[in-house]
Amino acid sequence: MKKNGAPRASAIGLALVMTASIAAIGGPQQGLTETRSVWDGVYTEEQATRGGALYARECSSCHGEDLMGADEATPLAGALFLSNWDGLTVGDLFERVRVSMPQGDPGKLDRQQTADVLAYVLHFNQFPAGDSELARRTEFLKEIRFQATRPGSE
Protein backbone atom coordinates (compact mmCIF):
# COMPACT_ATOMS: atom_id res chain seq x y z
CA MET A 1 0.00 0.00 0.00
CA LYS A 2 1.51 3.33 -1.09
CA LYS A 3 0.94 6.37 1.17
CA ASN A 4 0.93 9.94 -0.01
CA GLY A 5 4.03 11.56 1.53
CA ALA A 6 3.42 15.13 0.32
CA PRO A 7 1.58 16.49 3.42
CA ARG A 8 4.10 14.91 5.76
CA ALA A 9 7.07 16.20 3.74
CA SER A 10 5.51 19.66 3.69
CA ALA A 11 5.06 19.65 7.49
CA ILE A 12 8.63 18.48 8.02
CA GLY A 13 9.90 21.18 5.66
CA LEU A 14 7.92 23.84 7.51
CA ALA A 15 9.28 22.62 10.86
CA LEU A 16 12.85 22.77 9.53
CA VAL A 17 12.36 26.30 8.22
CA MET A 18 10.88 27.45 11.56
CA THR A 19 13.71 25.79 13.52
CA ALA A 20 16.33 27.44 11.30
CA SER A 21 14.61 30.82 11.67
CA ILE A 22 14.49 30.57 15.46
CA ALA A 23 18.13 29.51 15.58
CA ALA A 24 19.10 32.41 13.33
CA ILE A 25 17.53 34.98 15.65
CA GLY A 26 19.01 33.43 18.78
CA GLY A 27 16.33 31.09 20.05
CA PRO A 28 13.01 31.83 21.70
CA GLN A 29 14.38 33.23 24.97
CA GLN A 30 17.41 35.23 23.91
CA GLY A 31 17.00 38.98 24.10
CA LEU A 32 13.72 38.89 26.03
CA THR A 33 15.26 39.56 29.43
CA GLU A 34 18.59 41.16 30.08
CA THR A 35 20.47 39.84 33.08
CA ARG A 36 21.47 42.64 35.43
CA SER A 37 23.48 42.69 38.61
CA VAL A 38 23.66 44.86 41.70
CA TRP A 39 26.49 46.71 39.94
CA ASP A 40 24.08 48.12 37.35
CA GLY A 41 22.46 50.78 39.56
CA VAL A 42 19.26 48.98 40.56
CA TYR A 43 18.02 51.48 43.18
CA THR A 44 17.94 55.27 43.58
CA GLU A 45 19.63 57.46 46.18
CA GLU A 46 16.20 58.70 47.28
CA GLN A 47 15.01 55.14 47.84
CA ALA A 48 18.14 54.32 49.85
CA THR A 49 17.50 57.40 52.01
CA ARG A 50 13.94 56.25 52.74
CA GLY A 51 15.31 52.77 53.44
CA GLY A 52 17.91 54.17 55.85
CA ALA A 53 15.20 55.79 57.96
CA LEU A 54 13.21 52.54 57.99
CA TYR A 55 16.32 50.53 58.79
CA ALA A 56 17.10 52.78 61.77
CA ARG A 57 13.57 52.34 63.10
CA GLU A 58 12.93 48.65 62.32
CA CYS A 59 16.25 46.85 61.88
CA SER A 60 19.14 48.54 63.66
CA SER A 61 18.24 47.27 67.13
CA CYS A 62 19.25 43.77 66.01
CA HIS A 63 21.53 44.30 63.01
CA GLY A 64 23.29 47.38 64.42
CA GLU A 65 23.76 50.88 63.12
CA ASP A 66 26.78 49.63 61.17
CA LEU A 67 24.77 46.68 59.73
CA MET A 68 27.33 44.26 61.17
CA GLY A 69 24.84 42.26 63.24
CA ALA A 70 24.92 41.32 66.88
CA ASP A 71 24.28 38.14 68.82
CA GLU A 72 22.05 36.03 66.55
CA ALA A 73 21.40 38.74 63.95
CA THR A 74 23.47 38.21 60.84
CA PRO A 75 25.48 41.03 59.28
CA LEU A 76 23.94 42.98 56.39
CA ALA A 77 27.27 44.43 55.31
CA GLY A 78 30.83 43.33 54.83
CA ALA A 79 32.59 40.24 53.59
CA LEU A 80 30.39 37.65 55.34
CA PHE A 81 27.17 39.22 54.06
CA LEU A 82 28.54 39.56 50.54
CA SER A 83 29.81 35.98 50.41
CA ASN A 84 26.54 34.60 51.80
CA TRP A 85 24.50 36.20 48.99
CA ASP A 86 27.03 36.06 46.15
CA GLY A 87 25.56 34.21 43.17
CA LEU A 88 21.97 34.44 44.37
CA THR A 89 19.49 37.12 43.34
CA VAL A 90 18.15 40.29 44.89
CA GLY A 91 14.79 38.50 44.73
CA ASP A 92 16.15 35.79 47.05
CA LEU A 93 17.29 38.41 49.54
CA PHE A 94 14.01 40.33 49.21
CA GLU A 95 11.94 37.21 49.98
CA ARG A 96 14.13 36.31 52.98
CA VAL A 97 13.59 39.77 54.46
CA ARG A 98 9.92 39.92 53.50
CA VAL A 99 8.92 36.65 55.19
CA SER A 100 11.23 36.64 58.21
CA MET A 101 11.90 40.24 59.28
CA PRO A 102 11.68 41.98 61.58
CA GLN A 103 12.27 39.00 63.81
CA GLY A 104 9.64 39.90 66.38
CA ASP A 105 6.98 40.73 63.77
CA PRO A 106 7.74 39.01 60.41
CA GLY A 107 5.97 40.58 57.47
CA LYS A 108 5.47 43.92 59.25
CA LEU A 109 7.08 45.80 56.37
CA ASP A 110 5.11 46.02 53.13
CA ARG A 111 6.77 45.29 49.79
CA GLN A 112 7.72 48.93 49.15
CA GLN A 113 9.28 49.27 52.60
CA THR A 114 11.20 46.02 52.12
CA ALA A 115 12.53 47.26 48.75
CA ASP A 116 13.52 50.56 50.37
CA VAL A 117 15.44 48.81 53.16
CA LEU A 118 17.20 46.63 50.60
CA ALA A 119 18.12 49.75 48.63
CA TYR A 120 19.72 51.08 51.81
CA VAL A 121 21.59 47.79 52.35
CA LEU A 122 22.88 47.89 48.76
CA HIS A 123 23.91 51.53 49.20
CA PHE A 124 25.67 50.77 52.49
CA ASN A 125 27.58 47.95 50.75
CA GLN A 126 28.73 50.47 48.12
CA PHE A 127 26.76 49.15 45.16
CA PRO A 128 26.04 52.07 42.83
CA ALA A 129 22.71 53.86 42.65
CA GLY A 130 20.89 54.33 39.36
CA ASP A 131 17.91 56.07 37.81
CA SER A 132 15.19 53.55 38.72
CA GLU A 133 13.96 52.40 42.10
CA LEU A 134 14.43 48.83 43.20
CA ALA A 135 11.27 46.96 42.27
CA ARG A 136 8.95 45.55 44.90
CA ARG A 137 7.90 42.51 42.88
CA THR A 138 9.94 39.39 43.46
CA GLU A 139 9.76 38.19 39.85
CA PHE A 140 11.59 41.36 38.71
CA LEU A 141 14.10 41.15 41.53
CA LYS A 142 14.90 37.53 40.60
CA GLU A 143 16.40 38.94 37.38
CA ILE A 144 19.04 40.91 39.31
CA ARG A 145 22.11 38.88 40.29
CA PHE A 146 23.73 39.55 43.64
CA GLN A 147 27.38 39.71 42.63
CA ALA A 148 29.82 40.40 45.46
CA THR A 149 32.63 41.78 43.33
CA ARG A 150 32.44 44.33 40.53
CA PRO A 151 32.70 42.64 37.13
CA GLY A 152 36.18 42.99 35.71
CA SER A 153 37.83 43.68 39.08
CA GLU A 154 39.02 40.13 39.63
| Residues 80-119 pLDDT 10s | 999 999 999 999 999 999 999 998 899 999 999 999 999 9
Distances (CA, A) of 104 to 12, 41, 48, 83, 113: 62, 32, 24, 26, 17
- DSSP state letter for 25: T
How much is the pTM?
0.77
Q: What is the SS3 assignment for 143?
A: coil
Nearest-5° angle of CA 99, CA 121, CA 52? 95
Residue 45's pLDDT band (boundaries 50, 70, 90)? very high
CATH value of 43-145 in 1.10.760.10, 1.10.10.10, 3.50.30.60, 1.10.490.10: 1.10.760.10
What is the pLDDT, as a whole number, of residue 154?
Answer: 65
**Domain extents in the chain:** 43-145
What is the pLDDT, as a whole number, of residue 126?
Answer: 98
Asked if residue 10 has pLDDT above 90, the reply is no
Q: Are 129 and 43 in contact (CB under 8 A)?
A: yes
